[in-house]
Chain A
């Protein structure tokens, strides 16, 4: 990979440096090769781009606004803070950008059944939504533990006509939901398309999801130039698997003056072991089709992640982030449950916007970082989702019964 650009990956084997790859069972290998072929063709097809553009505009409501958060900026007294309002998308998060892209790809490939994994339920809801839109049957795998803490999204998926299959194996959270979706895929190889919800999985998923989410960064670029006449100085996003962060960062990777900060979930604190910070607290391994940083013990057994936010507690991270981490292009930090909860409440009160607990991790970093920067420093934070789904969790944390 040439280092004149950070945007050349992955190579033809799906590698970003030593990360990525295609670590899947032989049964799935022909399927991901087909997917790669179909995606390569679709990517350069004007008809595909036009169709995506149509649904992103008319159905999702794009472009999402880049909003100057004046009150938050004044309170923090430093950098000028802009919110990229992905929470205003239909279904309330960035996840739908990717789902529109993948379901159009599924249709192109003649697939007639959709499966997906979900943690917080946002990707599940987005997948169920596009399946309703295109009239395709949809099965969502969700860990039993997550089902219990994300009831509103479970009901939403059912209303949208999806079948939600509780996953009872392993730790009964997102990683197990992904295992179960892979088991379904390996069993239903003929008709089924697996819509992966983040920049993870075997090649070509990490690249494909990144590309579909890159509309976030492309819009920010245009919007910021229109509003401020120049590029932003710092971009901030939270990291579960890494799709909202890469979507924002990717179009700026080669702009050397744009700093990028990604925020992992530190849970109860990195030192407690109860966290989901794969880069800060993990090491390279192989899971779910790719090599990347993973939370694992000495023997290579995968550990459970912990975060107050169900969308962040995945024990891995997309392979491109592992590479960007090692080459130092992106700075990776973490925020605890408590910091995220504080940020959640602060944005609600100061700007009248209730953010998702996932996005609140990015906001926590903004709250730490903005006061140290000059007033002409332009900082963009990806408000990846809205917090309605989290009010029960937050109420419980605050000792309020609803």
Chain B
């Protein structure tokens, strides 16, 4: 089942028409503070991000490495909460009707907000998709099915432990695209070889026509380009968040120049992706 003609579907169709892969850029909502995050968000499409993943902060990010852990805790310390995350999306949408935004995070903040209320407010704010790390297919009744019914894509993660037997369960009820986590591990750790990624993407394509994005362990324009040659999109998170972190002062506050520096880095990643198949 796919939620047809969503903003995500349209974006991937456009990328296909251009004959190139896309760049998915991740930042955490409210990191390092609400206003700086909004400036970053607004600048991402211009810097070359084709889709945006916006992290929903959570105290206990079990699947994240040190960079994103620190990022989520910074955001919380700066006052991030679900309503503020949705405010960011709303403010972004006022100036951009085309770039898909996917909220990514863990289930408890969504559950605490209330699933129905969350889906209604997210849809109104202009959210296109959800990635919820701790909701495997076994828990589809919680959020995945209600999201699809509300017209919000639910994007599933496939991993190196997703074998042939499990793949159909992972693909069922997925829409928008499928996100291949290229290593067994947490965000920001290690990276897979190009050959392993190519084989995994081929394995996924045997089961679905959905676009395949690949993430975890992509840190450089070159790494993004390597992925862009075999997948429909490359996802970069920890490396962007680390670049942001390098622009903080001793108190964790944004130094002048943070936004252009981070966007400059995103621009390099985008150039890698765009040049990959030339």
Contact = CB atoms under 8 A, between A and B. Distances in A.
Nearest to B165: A30
A30 B162 CA distance: 7
A25 B59 CA distance: 16
Contacts of B163: 30
B138 A186 contact: no
A25 B138 CA distance: 11
Nearest to B113: A300
Interface in A4-47: 13, 21-31
A189 B162 CA distance: 12
Contacts of A137: none
Given A183-B186, A302-B60, A24 B136 contact: yes
Interface string A168-197: 011000011001001100111100000000
Interface string A327-345: 0000000000000000000
B112 A298 contact: yes
B66 A26 contact: no
A179 B60 contact: yes
Contacts of A300: 58, 82, 108-113
A185 to B, nearest CB: 10
B253 interface: no
Interface stretch (A73-81, A144-152, A218-226, A284-292): A284-292
25 contacts: A13-B138, A21-B138, A22-B136, A23-B136, A23-B139, A25-B62, A25-B159, A27-B157, A27-B160, A27-B185, A29-B161, A30-B162, A30-B163, A170-B69, A186-B62, A186-B186, A189-B161, A189-B184, A285-B112, A286-B106, A287-B60, A300-B58, A301-B58, A301-B76, A302-B60
A284 to B, nearest CB: 8
B161 A170 contact: no
Interface SS majority for chain A: mixed
Given A22-B138, A189-B184, A299 B63 contact: no
A54 B55 CA distance: 50
A169 B188 CA distance: 15
Interface residues of A, number: 35
Interface of B: 57-63, 65-66, 69, 73, 76, 81-82, 106-113, 133-139, 156-163, 166, 170, 181, 184-186, 189
A186 B61 CA distance: 13
B81 A299 contact: yes
Nearest to B190: A187
Across chains A and B, which 7 residue pairs bring their CB atoms closest together, nearest first?
A300-B112, A300-B109, A187-B185, A27-B159, A299-B81, A300-B108, A23-B134
Contacts, number: 117
A24 B134 contact: yes
A26 B158 contact: yes
Nearest to A180: B62
Contacts of B65: 183
A302 B157 contact: no
B62 A179 contact: yes
A25 B113 contact: no
A13 B66 CA distance: 32
Contacts of B112: 285, 296, 298-300
Nearest to A183: B186
B105 to A, nearest CB: 10
A183 B137 CA distance: 20
A285 B181 CA distance: 26
Given A26-B159, A182-B62, A289 B189 contact: no
Centre residue among B81, B82, B108 by max chain A CB count within 10 A:
B108
Contacts of B69: 169-170
B166 A29 contact: yes
Given A25-B134, A170-B69, 7 more contacts: A23-B136, A26-B136, A26-B181, A182-B62, A186-B63, A187-B189, A299-B81
A63 to B, nearest CB: 38
A185 B93 CA distance: 39
Nearest to B112: A300
Nearest to A289: B134
Contacts of B157: 25-27
Nearest to A182: B62
A26 to B, nearest CB: 5
B161 A30 contact: yes
A31 B59 CA distance: 25
Contacts of B58: 300-301
Contacts of B160: 27, 189
Nearest to B187: A183
A3 B11 CA distance: 52
